[in-house]
Amino acid sequence: MRLFHVSEESNIETFEPRKPSRTDIDNSKGLIWAINEQCLPNFLTPRDCPRVAYYYTDRSTDEDKSRFFSSPDIQHVIAIESKWFEAMINTSLYLYEFDTSDFILQDEIAGYYISDKEQKPVNKIVITNIFKEIFDRNIELRIIPNLWDLADDIKTSTLNWSLCRMGNAEKR
C-alpha cells in the first residue's frame, strides 16, 4: 500500500499534525491526512475545485455501472465543473508519499488514513499536466456545468463515492 498527500505547495519538508476543522471528527488532537493509491485520483484537481468522484466495487450493481460509466473499461470517474477547466490546465500538483507505518485507516471508502505523528515525505512526485495524469490512470474525467444533480444521484447508488469541496460548486 502507498499513501500520499496532494498539495499545490512544492516545498513541504515536514508535515505537522493539525486539528481537524470537520465537526464529525474528534478535534482534540492534531492529525495528518493521507490518501491511498486507489482513491488518489479523487484529489488530482486544484485544492478548491469541487468534484464528484466515484468508482465501482464488487457490490455495485450492473445497472449502476451501466448508468454512471461510459464504458466497461472505465471503473473510476471524476466530474468537475466547467468553470474549473482553466485552473486544471494551469495547476501543478505535488504528491508527497509517506512511510505507511504510522498511519491507520480512517475511512475505507474514501481511502483516508490518519497519523498523529509528524511525517517527513519519503518521495515527492511532480504533476505538471493533471489531465494526462488522470487519463494515464484510466480515469474518466467529466466536465459539466453543475455537479449537484450528479452528486444527488451518486449518493443513492451502489458505487463508492466522494464529494469534495462542494461548498465551492455552482449553486443549484
Average pLDDT of span 144-160: 97
- Could you tell me the residue ranges of all domains in the chain? 3-168
- pLDDT at site 28: 86
- pLDDT at site 39: 95
Tracing cell 470517474 back to the chain, one arrives at 77
Average pLDDT of span 22-46: 91
What is the pLDDT of the chain when averaged over all its residues?
95
Give pLDDT tens digits for 102-141: 999 999 999 999 999 999 999 999 999 999 999 999 999 9
CA atoms within 13 A on the CB side of 157: 25
Give pLDDT tens digits for 13-32: 999 999 988 787 778 889 99
- Which residue in 157, 151, 144, 149 sits closest to 59, CA to CA? 157
Average pLDDT of span 48-62: 96
- pLDDT at site 80: 98
